Amino acid sequence: MPRAIGCTAVRLRELPRLLDPLEAFESLRGDPYPWLLDSATRCAGGVAGRDRYSFAGADPYLVLRAFSRRIELEGRRAVRPGIGLGREVVRGDPFDALQALLPPASELEIQTLPGDSPPALLPFVGGAVGYLGYELGEFVEPVASSGRNDLELPDLCLLFVDRLLAFDHLEGRAFALGLGFAQSAAEAGQRAELALAELQEGVEEGVGKGLEKGLERGVEKRGASRSRAGRAAPAALLALDSGNEALASRRRLLATEPPASCSGHFSAGSYARAVEDIREEIAAGNVYQANLTQRLELALEDAGARQGDAWSHYRVLRELSPAPFAAYLELPEVAILSSSPERFIALDAERGVESRPIKGTRPRGGSGAQDAELAAELEHSEKDRAENLMIVDLVRNDLGRVCETGSIAVPELMTIEAYASVFQMVSTVTGRLREEHHAVDLLRATFPPGSMTGAPKIAAMGIIDRLEPVRRGIYSGAIGYFDLRGGLDLSVVIRTLLLKKGRAYLHAGGAVVADSDPAAEYRESLDKARALIAALGAPAIEDRRRRRAPRGAPSPDPG
């Protein structure tokens, strides 16, 4: 797995009109391996930089998969010296493989093409995008995974990209980027310009076709609406279309329950017994807190969902439950639809590190008064504050392995954030990575996310392995990017749907501490799953909006 390249060049071009990330992504979905890192909660001023950027791409030149120590390399396009076409299988440590394959930042040239004004420093200009599954924790902690691997998904799947789109929501700008790899700077620059031209041409052609199809669909939908005149509208749709739509949508989410055909590896009773088991471990002094989760699964047709239409379900999910670290990855083996609100770990150009662990949950209320009451209840809950503080201490300890002495700080402690169906208690832990360490060292020091294990981490992971019958897989791991200049930004994989062979899989759970109530813990897990289940069974939101559009108007985009 050679890294020797010589020179790497990046070329940027501002797109002539600001594209919505969803609209632009539609133009890429005809290519293999489409991916979207989607800051779906963005607002005009951003949220402390956490939802400023979105990124999209497809057709990676290399795919890295790992099944424990079995590492598979799929060379798809010969664009980088030392990495050819075809499939190669080796054995080793997946983290070592990732480090060896990341393009080095030495001899890097980033250039905006003539006529374009340079953007602010984009945190991601190319490198690798994908997920790391929870069971990779075996490579960083002395633990074993004995849960059934019935989904047979890779422990790691990373796409190495040389073409991508970047969206700066704060400045209202969008950019196409192309990378080139060669032994000389001149040749690398030429290859980068070629990659950029191919991407821009594909996007412009795809967006043009998408607009034409959108107009056609608008005519068809208006005709279909007229033909259905007089039919009774579903009660849920009437509720969403009346009064305060945001409040009605929230009430609908809060009323969502798993369909009768939904199966899981825990019943309410067995989940409660597992909670009691953890409480006994806590009483014995073996652990302070452990995160217990359950996996639910159902056939898409049983949820009223359209099979083979993962992208439509993602669009509904992001409308029902927007999140700052949302993501969509369409892989041959699985489609991943994530609405994660939690940043696992980020590393910036100045070697600054940030983690934002979430611990502490309440459901949203069905009215403004109930909302305020529940938010205040979470804010002042001794149990939830204790949970949060334990994980903050765990994260501080993890960062202390690789960060400069004295650099670790907690600028935000136990703040309350509102999401579609729940309130969350969130803290921020920061530090500065020591000069001798790099992004993969930081990943090893902190993986898997402490908010998904408990404290102490190793002891909690052992309890999780004993109690949970199936592997967590992608859930509880991380999704995001590794930038070729050395940075990274990864979310914690929560609030995430996996669609595979006509079935939907989702995990949910929560932290168990000494005074946890077993029934309440089970209800909390369902609260976190409501938006995911609703996204499968909800009527297409874009269809509803098209019916509202004036005649002759193009159908509005739900993004």
457 counts as catalytic:
no
Number of C-beta neighbours around residue 282 at 10 A = 20
478 near 490, Cβ under 8 Å?
yes
Greatest Cα pair distance in the chain: 70
Q: Which of 453, 528, 452, 508 is nearest to 253 (CA)?
A: 528
DSSP run (H or E) holding 37: strand 35-38
Residue of 135, 138, 297, 342 marked catalytic: 342
Question: What six digits make up the tokens of 428?
Answer: 């921020």
Q: Which of 440, 444, 465 is nearest to 454 (CA)?
A: 465
The one-letter code for the residue type at 484 is L
DSSP run (H or E) holding 194: helix 185-227
CA dist 477 and 559 (Å) reads 27
What DSSP state is assigned to residue 138?
Answer: G
What DSSP state is assigned to residue 233?
Answer: P
359 counts as catalytic:
yes
Close Cβ partners of 197 (under 8 Å, ≥ 6 residues apart)? 178
DSSP run (H or E) holding 87: strand 86-91
CA dist 344 and 397 (Å) reads 15
Number of C-beta neighbours around residue 470 at 10 A = 17
Which residue shows structure tokens 């359950």?
Answer: 294
In our burial notation (b when 16+ CB lie closer than 10 A, e otherwise), range 51-83 reads: bbbbbbbbbbbbbbbbbbeebbbbbbeebbeeb
Residue of 281, 297, 359, 387 marked catalytic: 359
Close Cβ partners of 260 (under 8 Å, ≥ 6 residues apart)? none
DSSP run (H or E) holding 182: strand 173-182
In DSSP terms, 326 is beta-bridged to 38, 339
CA dist 554 and 165 (Å) reads 25
Q: Exposed (0-12), middle (13-18) or buried (19+): which is 115, by Cβ within 10 Å?
A: exposed
Question: What six digits make up the tokens of 171?
Answer: 């400045």
Q: Is the dihedral of CA 480, 486, 487, 490 positive or negative?
A: positive
Catalytic residues: 342, 359
